[in-house]
A and B are shown apart, each in its own frame.
Chain A
Amino acid sequence: MGHEELFEQLKQAIIDQDQDAVMSSVNAALDAGVEPKTIIDQGLLPGLNVIGEQFECEDIFLPELMQSALAFQAAMAVLEPKIKESGNAGPKKGKIVLGTVKGDLHSIGKNILKLLFETSGFEVWDLGIDVDLFKFVDKANEVDADVIAMSALLTTTLVGQRDVIEALKGQGTRDKYKIIIGGGATTQAWADTIGADGWAGTAYEAVNLATKLVS
């Protein structure tokens, strides 16, 4: 089987959310001597791009997205150590710290965002829900993040996003990070008011926004 055919199989396995087929194609490609980085770039990522588009068009939903992401993560668990061994590890798109702000217990939108960031080539630290503002600040500092992404669904929790920015300003580190916000209660006007670098109405828009901001 030629390399092109292998890549096509791998892409289709990701689209089909078939973890067994993904692993089988990854192993076949490695056995055929294909570089791990090439397997990612020409097999896995094109499959994820299709999945992302299908998700955006509502042809598939979160469960299918998660299955594809799990298959992708399983493949990466095999490929990443080999890339590191070879010393050819390319840089990630960027480092993102994300979470739902203090007082807000909603997780689904944030979970979708995490998946899309991960499968788009970002390194992600998910702080979860109801996140204390200084956890955002400390984690971003610890991992030298490029982007802090904060979600808020409730109007009464919006101020949590403002507070993180205020805390960063207080520490003199605001300009180290790009800050993006989203969630049901947020708007572009609120992002402007609190001095965020961007607002996204959907998880897909957030990935595009973060990509633009870190490029």
Chain B
Amino acid sequence: MIDLVEVFERAEIGPLTSETDYYMKRFVPKLSEIIARHGIKWDKNTIINTDDDLTDRVFQAAVDLLAEAGAYCPETNRVMEFTRDEILLACGQCPTATTFGEGRERNVMRGRRPDTTDDRPWVHVGGGIYTTDEQVFMDTVEKMASFNIVNSVSVPSILHLRGKDSRVRSPQEVLAACKTVRLAREGIRRSGRAGLPIINGISAASQPASMFAASYPDFGLRPSDGFLIDFLSELVVGYEALQKVAFYNSLSANVGSTSTPLFGGYAGGAEGVAVTATCYMIMGNLIFRGSYHYNAPLHSKLHLSSTRPLIWAIAMSNAAIGRNMGYPMVNLPYLGGGSGTKQYHYEMACYLLAVVTSGGNVFSGHPAMAVQSDSLIPDDHKFHGEIGLAVSNLTRAEAEPLAQKLYPLFGDKLKDPDKGLTFQEVYDPATKAIVNDDFRRAQDEVRSELAAMGLEVPVS
């Protein structure tokens, strides 16, 4: 595989082009041509693809896209070009297992093949949610880490500093990042699982200075945690990302290559998102030297990922990588329904049915439309981890009819989702016990409904 210095060099020597020309003369026409070349078509009646030939064509299309369109570096206005041989060599040499955590919490996240029913997927919980209060932050992290099915946690995304938001690139952002990491590690220690890895201790949107500062070992992060570095949509590789790549690779830290291809953006619809998402995973290994991929396709208008075409595209990208590379993957679900609602659980179950059977690991998501501060409710994430583990016993063909039953329960509500609950509305502040009957009832009812559909979800 070409080395990192050579990768960085590609941003300095590729063809000069404006961003508009990159999209209009390279990315958009190439993507469209490549989709047609490989005959990639989403059957609108399908949620989970089971056609392996189509899956492999999506992978080939993703290789073609990177080989023919290249990536774009806005700082140098150059296209980063890679030959097909370089791309395929990187695909063949990508990591298929990544070790996270310390002590008895040290564990391996594996790249999974679709329809693998005899391995336990990695269980990651806690999509980032805005949290305003330090006590809620600590309680949230401690509670998530305390669930025994959990292999790693994300932590709430932003802490106020003296009651105020920290602005991007400000000194307050550096302080907030350091403080977040310290509190997150402390919350995990309090759970009794000090070695548990944190996968997004520092938001990928943070400036490099904030990420580097918060990575200072005294604050509690270790190379065996996960550090997210993101591409900008679509196929944009900025200097800030490459600075992070240089730093975290120098530490031999676990790098989570992160991407958010936009449905309705330059990638177009379901087929374009499937190919582009797959392409990002190839780029994550080749350009970022990722240890795992954090796949987060998103609807450009609804700002969520649980629409029918998006679930198909996300699952397809998992299957394409699972069959052809084996790169470990997690997928961040952005859901419409608010925390604690039945809609939220239906969306999560449908999403997990698709991605886990297609080769992804388990990742509990978070509300994106009905989002509000302090709405990360750990017991939601425990429930979703349990659903993910139950789903891992199924094949895609077994999961598809269940997904078809679930989708009508939330599909029409995505534009106006049910509002949810906050941490404070669910838990007793002193004992942290669940005191909200509606919250408990919603989970119980969905668990029963899933069982009636044929998916038993054991309580862990």
Contacts and interface: CB of A to CB of B under 8 A. Distances in A.
A156 B265 contact: no
A106 B28 contact: no
Given A58-B264, A63-B28, A156-B173, A105 B165 contact: no
Question: Is chain B's binding surface mostly helix, strand, loop or mixed?
Answer: loop
B269 A61 contact: yes
Interface footprint category on A: 20 to 34
Contact of B266 (A58, A104, A108, A201): A108
Given A58-B264, A63-B268, A154 B303 contact: no
A167 interface: no
Contact of B300 (A66, A105, A112, A160): A112
B303 A70 contact: no
Given A63-B32, A155-B165, A156-B168, A106 B232 contact: yes
Contact of A103 (B168, B233, B272): B168
A179 interface: no
Interface in A62-78: 62-64, 66, 70
A125 B438 CA distance: 50
B166 A156 contact: yes
A62 B158 contact: no
B268 A108 contact: no
A49 interface: no
Contacts of A156: 158, 165-168, 173, 205
Contacts of A202: 301
B173 A61 contact: no
Nearest to B169: A103
A161 to B, nearest CB: 12
Contacts of A58: 264, 269
A155 B156 CA distance: 13
B233 A157 contact: no
B265 A103 contact: no
Contacts of B28: 63, 66
A165 to B, nearest CB: 15
B303 A184 contact: yes
Given A155-B157, A155-B158, A160-B167, 13 more contacts: A58-B264, A61-B265, A61-B269, A62-B266, A62-B300, A63-B266, A66-B24, A108-B262, A108-B265, A108-B300, A154-B168, A156-B168, A156-B205
26 contacts: A58-B269, A61-B263, A61-B267, A61-B269, A61-B272, A62-B265, A63-B32, A63-B266, A63-B272, A66-B24, A70-B24, A103-B167, A103-B168, A105-B232, A105-B238, A107-B19, A108-B233, A108-B234, A112-B300, A155-B130, A155-B165, A156-B158, A156-B165, A156-B166, A158-B165, A201-B301
Interface of A: 58, 61-64, 66, 70, 103-109, 112, 154-160, 184, 201-202
